[in-house]
Amino acid sequence: MASIGSCCFASCVSAVGVGCQRSRHVFKNKGSYLSPHLLCYHRWNLKLRGRSRRTVSFSVWGSLLKVEDDKDESCELVSGMELSLGEGEDVISAYLFKAVKNNNGAGILLLSDIFGFEDSSTRDFAYRVACNGYNVLVPDLFRGDPWTNDRPRNLFEQWRARQTWERVSRDITTATEWMVGEFLAAGISKKLGIIGFCFGGGQLISVLANDQALTFGAAISFYGTRMDSSAAANMKIPVLFISGDEDPLCPVTGLEGIQKTIGRDSKVVIFKGRGHGFAHRPGSPEEDKDAEEAFAVMRNWLSGGLLGHQLN
């Protein structure tokens, strides 16, 4: 069974369908609602136009944390908005997805792979997580300069070297503090969840090692690359690792070593015959099936860590 290949040079997978058009949006005083919704997508009919940007202020959380009473009604719509976070030279872009009908009031920080926060596969995955009731923030980890497949491959390491931990960690902190601040302003003190793919899955380890305030309560790393195994000893929460046994960028032995160092009931789930990127960039019907299973495992982990109960 063919693997999907390296995330670094895999072709971007475009979602099929047409999303709703952007509607006008109104900003009011701090703490007020943002109305109407900036953007909506019909489930399974998603197409994101990544280069269309809107800048909004720190204070527009709007009805994000309003939880609907009807828990049995499935999520039919997810709304989204483009954000600008931070100040001065450290302003970053981000995209926020929220469940409209079944919002559970929990927040997720999603750290992208090298293709960045505007990539359709990453946003499609974030959309699906939001459709399960979460508020998902996807920050731009590369400040407008993600890797693209049209660049010469021999330039990849130069590009990768520019993504320093010092700068990336500042941007992740900016996104995290924004989410925490907005939740506190809404009177909610739930811990956040964190998900990372590839580059983001590697950064997740260092983020959690430096999370002395225990901001995060659930963590999932999908085939993380260049993970700092020495940081694992400083992590305070369990991590779910999901990968394939044919992924040269995320060796199973390395994951198992980090899992043992973390302890705390961390878990490694390995999919046989799968390579890098299968869970959010499935390239075949067989990979689709495993991607669905991986999503279900992740969803159960999030529910246990953030909502206090396991799903069936």
* Residue boundaries of the structural domains of the chain: 39-307
In what helix (H) or strand (E) does residue 32 lie, and over which residues does it extend?
A: none
User: Quick one: pLDDT at residue 190?
Assistant: 83
User: Quick one: pLDDT at residue 243?
Assistant: 96
User: Quick one: pLDDT at residue 7?
Assistant: 39
- As a whole number, the mean pLDDT across the chain is 79
Q: How far apart are the first and last CA of the chain?
A: 30
Of 257, 268, 270, the residue nearest 228 (C-alpha): 257
User: Quick one: pLDDT at residue 311?
Assistant: 65
Q: Tens of pLDDT along 98-120?
A: 888 888 999 999 999 999 999 99
Contacts of 63 (CB under 8 A, 6+ apart): 33, 34, 35
Q: Decide which of 98 and 150 is more confident.
A: 150
User: Quick one: pLDDT at residue 93?
Assistant: 97
Q: Decide which of 295 and 29 is more confident.
A: 295
Q: Tens of pLDDT along 53-79?
A: 333 323 233 334 433 334 434 446 799
Mean pLDDT score, 28-34: 27
User: Quick one: pLDDT at residue 46?
Assistant: 33
User: Quick one: pLDDT at residue 98?
Assistant: 87
User: Quick one: pLDDT at residue 186?
Assistant: 78
- pLDDT above 70: residue 43: no
Distance CA 216, CA 212 (A): 10
Highest mean pLDDT among 22-26, 150-154, 305-309: 150-154
Token pair in block for residue 32: 């007020």
**Superfamily classification of domain 39-307:** Alpha/Beta hydrolase fold, catalytic domain (3.40.50.1820)
Mean pLDDT score, 133-147: 96
Distance CA 94, CA 140 (A): 6
- pLDDT above 60: residue 281: yes
- pLDDT above 90: residue 28: no
Give the residue carrying structure tokens 């939740």. Answer: 183
Mean pLDDT score, 259-286: 94
Report the 10 Å Cβ neighbour count for 192: 22
Token pair in block for residue 46: 């998603």
Query: For the stretch 134-170, what's the b/e string if a residue is b when 16 or more beta carbons lie within 10 angstroms of its beta carbon?
Result: bbbbbbbbbbeebbeeeeeeeeeeebeeebeeeebee
In what helix (H) or strand (E) does residue 85 lie, and over which residues does it extend?
A: strand 77-85
